[in-house]
Chain A
Amino acid sequence: DAKTTQPPSMDCAEGRAANLPCNHSTISGNEYVYWYRQIHSQGPQYIIHGLKNNETNEMASLIITEDRKSSTLILPHATLRDTAVYYCIVRVAGTGNQFYFGTGTSLTVIP
């Protein structure tokens, strides 16, 4: 069963913020939200993860709603190199708990 719902595709103008939504209405209290991206013909790249609080790193910001049923990945100033498929994953931390990569959101940054 899919744990997350993402739009299949989005466009964003170069230099603008890209806001990628993810719904995870059945998330449980001990499940983290992870974001990865995959540029064509490369392996997935870890971006960011969070449990309850908003998180920011050098790549992106993660905003998690108070009820934790949805989140948004924000790329503050999208570049052409950000064109990729973005995956939102929820899982309980720990080796035996898999990362299930769904079909993600295909983001195209337009010049």
Chain B
Amino acid sequence: DVKVTQSSRYLVKRTGEKVFLECVQDMDHENMFWYRQDPGLGLRLIYFSYDVKMKEKGDIPEGYSVSREKKERFSLILESASTNQTSMYLCASSFSSASGLDEQYFGPGTRLTVT
């Protein structure tokens, strides 16, 4: 079974703190993704990476950065946390495929509260 793990289930940080969210997958997937999920807005893509040291902006990258130094690990960084970044953060991974075999597998999520 594919396993995607996230470093914390719940996190509380103060405004202005630097926050690191870690994601690790064990299936040798090329692609990794960070989403946030808010009530009424569904899942929104923040950043994704299709290879080590590669990254692409998603729909809402402002206020975030990412790091992928190893294939299995993808980190989301909030340089200076703000209250509007309070959300559920979800990491996902997938193979690269143009034949439909690139379904994404998600971690359990990190519920971040910024006070």
Contacts and interface: CB of A to CB of B under 8 A. Distances in A.
Contacts of B42: 100-103
Given A101-B42, A103-B42, A93 B104 contact: no
B104 A46 contact: yes
Nearest to B103: A46
Contacts of A34: 103
B interface: dominant SS = loop
A25 interface: no
Interface range, A side: 20 to 34
Interface string B75-115: 00000000000000011101011111111111111010000
Contacts of A94: 96-98, 102
B61 interface: no
B109 A42 contact: yes
Interface range, B side: 20 to 34
Contacts of A93: 97-102
Contacts of B31: 95
Contacts of B100: 32, 49, 51, 93
Contacts of B45: 98
B11 interface: no
A95 B50 contact: yes
